[in-house]
Amino acid sequence: LEVAEGGIDTHDDGRIVVDQYCRTTSDGVFAIGDVSTPIPLNHVANREADVVKHNLLHTDDLRTISHHLVPSAVFTNPEIAAIG
């Protein structure tokens, strides 16, 4: 993506660096989902999108994103699930 040209920092593995509000190191630029999170799950990206939407509309009441308790499942027989 060559995001460095836009003033956006990346981790060594290529993911975009974001703060707890999903903001990048370039003013006014947010990143969510697989480009920034170490947890490439659809429901994680959906939650990040909700946080960014709120923060864009309510700049005086920012919400943070936490990746500490993320549910996941393995679809096997028997079923396996985990949280955290």
The amino acid occupying position 75 is: F
The domains of the chain, with CATH numbers, are 3-83 (3.50.50.60)
Cα separation, 42 vs 19, whole angstroms: 20
Count CB neighbours of 62 within 10 A.
13
pLDDT of residue 69: 86
42-80 pLDDT, tens per residue? 999 999 999 999 999 999 999 999 888 888 888 888 888
pTM for the predicted model, two decimal places: 0.82
In DSSP terms, which residues pair with 20 in a beta bridge? none
Cα separation, 3 vs 17, whole angstroms: 11
